Amino acid sequence: MTTEPLEATRAALARVRGAEPLVQCLTNTVVTNFTANALLALGASPAMVDVPGEADAFARVAGGVLVNLGTPHAEQRAAMTEAATAAREAGTPWVLDPVAIGALPVRTPLAHALLALGPAVVRGNASEILALARAGAGGRGVDAAEKVEQAAEAARGLARTSGAVVAVSGPVDLVTDGARTVRIANGDALLTKVTGGGCALGAVMAAFAAVTEDVFDATVAAVTTYTVAAELAAEGRPGPGTFAVRFVDALAAVGDTDLVARAALS
């Protein structure tokens, strides 16, 4: 564990709780409630504004924006493009989560078009990152077909060409800006048994990016805080339903002592 990213994580978490950043979420219908509750527990303020005509204006006043392609119906696709364009113009950091891209004919070209609008962070599993980098065909729906390390070089290349920080989720998460790379060996497999366990992380990244100047530090801090909270929630090996409730509680409770004791950064 290195001191510098740990200290940056502790400071970033304190800023999130002190500033209560407003996070606009254009996300999939399956995870809206879980995502909003995760942000509230962390100390941020969620706003599920994904209507064309409103998405533009809201992205200009929000602290951060999440664009998640889980269920991209036509109206939401228009709002996503509107919000991403406005966020770029306003300097609002936004997160692209290219859910299930690869062979699917609607979300895949949409993800590439959104990437061109300059997200601050791209977050996905190994297969999604490989597909976005045009180095793979995608996974099985939302499930990754490749391991994190198989996507490491593609992630670094994608970061360099897009200017975004790229976060690859898996048993050991990888965060890179093309020059710096940090691996976070925290978390629990129960996160994969809860709908929204991955998607809510994108919103948490937007909250941290809203209050942290260095987006790389913000992303490492978001992943570390989120996965340490997952470990706290998994103590005693609850079932998935109990874990989901305990995870929201853990996001509210996780603090310096937990981060110092548990953060596994390399």
Q: Is 48 annotated as a binding residue?
A: yes
Give this prediction's pTM.
0.95
Q: How confident is the model at residue 146 (pLDDT cuts 50, 70, 90)?
A: confident
CATH of the domain at 200: 3.40.1190.20
Edge-first strand listing for the sheet containing 165-169: 45-47, 22-26, 64-68, 94-97, 121-125, 165-169, 173-176, 181-184
Classify strands 22-26 and 45-47 as parallel, antiparallel or unpaired.
parallel
Q: Identify the burial level of 206 via C-beta atoms within 10 angstroms of its C-beta, where 0-12 means exposed, 13-18 middle and 19 or more buried.
A: buried
Query: pLDDT of 247-259, one tens digit each?
Result: 999 999 999 999 9
10 Å CB burial of residue 149 (0-12, 13-18, 19+) is: middle
**Which tens digit of pLDDT belongs to each residue from 184-219?**
999 999 999 999 999 999 999 999 999 999 999 999
What does pLDDT average to over the chain? Answer: 95
CA dihedral for 21, 25, 29, 35, sign (positive or negative)? negative
**Structural domains in the chain (count):** 1
Report whether 160 belongs to an annotated binding site.
no
Domain with 35, as residue range(s), is 3-262
How many of the other CB atoms lie within 10 Å of CB of 257? Answer: 8
Does residue 45 have a known ligand-binding role? no
- Environment class of 260 (CB within 10 Å of its CB; exposed 0-12, middle 13-18, buried 19+): middle
On whether 127 is known to bind a ligand per the annotation, the reply is no
Q: What is the pLDDT of residues 40-57, one digit of tens each?
A: 999 999 999 999 999 999
